[in-house]
Amino acid sequence: MEPALAAVRGKFVGGLRLTADRTGDCRMFTMALAEKAAELGVKFHYAQTIEQIAVEAGRVVGVDTDQMGRVTGDAYVCALGSYAPRVLTPIGIRLPVYPVKGYSVTLPVTDDAMAPQSTIMDETHKVAITRLGDRIRVAGQAEIAGYSNRLGPNATNTVRHVISDLFPKGGDVDRAEGWTGLRPMTPDGTPVLGGTALPNLFLNTGHGTLGWTMACGSGRAVADLVLCRTPEISFDGLTAARYGQ
C-alpha cells in the first residue's frame, strides 16, 4: 500500500486501512465546479467586502458591499465559514463558530518510490500526508489565533517534520510552499445548516475540518430548503436553533 514506509517501519506500532476513503485536490475541484456553475449562468464577484446584511421588516433586503453597492435577491445563504459571525452578529444571530487555524505545505516529489502513494494520517501529530500527482501536500495542526492569516517563519515546522520523518527521501522540503487557513469550528463539531428567524436567510457554515467532505451534501440540502423542496435529510440538531438562535 505504501512501500516507502518500509524504510521507517520501526516508527509504527500499527495502522488502519480505510478502503472507503477517497483523496482529491480541493482547489482543482472548486475551480472546475465554478467553471461549470458559470456555464449554467452563475455569476461570481470576487474580492468583495460585505459591509452589512440589510434587514427591514423582519426580512433580508440586501447585502451591502464595498464595490458593488447593495446586492439583492429573493433568498440569501450565508456560507462564509469562520467569518459568518462577523456579518450575522450585527443582525442578532449569534453563532458559536470560531476560527481554528491550520497549516499546510505542498512540495514536489523527488523520488516516486520513496514518496507516499495515497493518503497517510499521522495520528500522533494529527497531520495528513496526501499525494497529489507530482506533489505532496502535508496539512494539519490546530491553533487558536483569532482571524490571523499570518504565516510565520516557523509556523509549518510540525507539518514539515512529519513529512521529513516518514518520507525523508520522497519530496523536497526545501521547496515546500506554505499555506494557512481558518477552520470554522463549532462546540459540538456539527455544522450549522438551514433556516433562521429571518424567513429568507439560510445558513451553511461551521463544517470544521470537513468542509469539502460535507460541501456537496450540505449545499444540496440547503438548496432544497431555499427552493421549498423536501430535503433528503433531517435538519434536527443541525440548525442554529440548537444554540437558541
Mean pLDDT, residues 203-232 = 97
Give the pLDDT mean for 24-51: 96
Mean pLDDT value of segment 205-213: 96
Collapsing DSSP states into helix, strand and coil, what is residue 78?
strand
At 220, which helix (H) or strand (E)? helix 211-226
Q: 214 falls in which pLDDT band (50, 70, 90)?
A: very high
| 207 phi/psi in degrees, rounded to 5 | -85, 0
pLDDT band at 245 (very low <50, low <70, confident <90, very high): confident
CA distance 127 to 5: 16
Phi, psi at 203, each rounded to 5°: -115, 145
pLDDT at 188: 95
For the chain, the straight-line distance linking the first and the last C-alpha, in angstroms and rounded, comes to 47
What one-character DSSP code corresponds to residue 94? -
The grid coordinates of residue 27 equal 482547489
The C-alpha atoms of residue 245 and residue 242 are separated, in whole angstroms, by 7
Average pLDDT in the chain: 96
Report the Cα 44 to chain-centroid distance in Å.
19
Q: Model pTM?
A: 0.91
The answer to whether the CB of 129 falls within 8 A of the CB of 162 is yes
* Cα 146 versus chain centre, distance: 16
Q: What does the pLDDT read at residue 10? A: 92
Is residue 151 within 8 A of residue 145, CB to CB? The reply is no
Cβ neighbours of residue 16 under 8 Å, at least 6 residues apart?
A: none
Q: Give me the sheet containing 76-78, strands edge to edge.
A: 76-78, 201-205, 192-195
pLDDT beyond 90 at 23: no
Q: What is the mean pLDDT of residues 172-193?
A: 96
Span 196-207, mean pLDDT?
Answer: 98
Q: What is the mean pLDDT of residues 19-23?
A: 89
Ordered domains of the chain (ranges, CATH): 3-28+98-184 (3.30.9.10), 47-97+188-243 (3.50.50.60)
Residues paired with 108 in a beta bridge: 135
Q: What's the confidence (pLDDT) of residue 194?
A: 97
Element (H, E) at 128: strand 127-132
pLDDT tens figures, 69-127: 999 999 999 999 999 999 999 999 999 999 999 999 999 999 999 999 999 999 999 99
